[in-house]
């Protein structure tokens, strides 16, 4: 299915968030996730299903003031 990942349209095979992250190369990465503007805790990724057109944000630490 086609989803938007960090603003970029991508094709993923996985239908669960944790599997999609692994597919996108973030399987072992320390990241925080939000789907369609809602926070998805790491523990809930396994039971979070993706749908066509979903907007996924995958964030990590960055410099800040």
Which chain residues interact with other proteins by CB under 8 A?
6-7, 26, 29-34, 37-39, 41-42, 57-65
Q: Mapping DSSP to helix (H, G, I), strand (E, B) and coil, where does residue 19 land? A: helix
Q: Which is nearer to other proteins, 18 or 57 (CB)?
A: 57
Give the Cα separation of 2 and 16 in Å (integer).
Answer: 13
- Least distance (Å) between residue 18 CB and other proteins: 15
Give the Cα separation of 44 and 36 in Å (integer).
Answer: 15
Give the Cα separation of 6 and 55 in Å (integer).
Answer: 8
- Least distance (Å) between residue 64 CB and other proteins: 3
Q: Which is nearer to other proteins, 29 or 49 (CB)?
A: 29
């Amino acid at each position: 299915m086609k989803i938007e990942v960090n603003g970029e349209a991508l094709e993923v095979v996985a239908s669960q968030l944790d599997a999609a992250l692994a597919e996108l190369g973030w399987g072992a990465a320390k990241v925080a996730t939000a789907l369609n503007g809602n926070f998805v805790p790491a523990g809930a990724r396994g039971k979070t299903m993706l749908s066509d057109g979903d907007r996924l944000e995958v964030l990590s630490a960055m410099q800040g003031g």
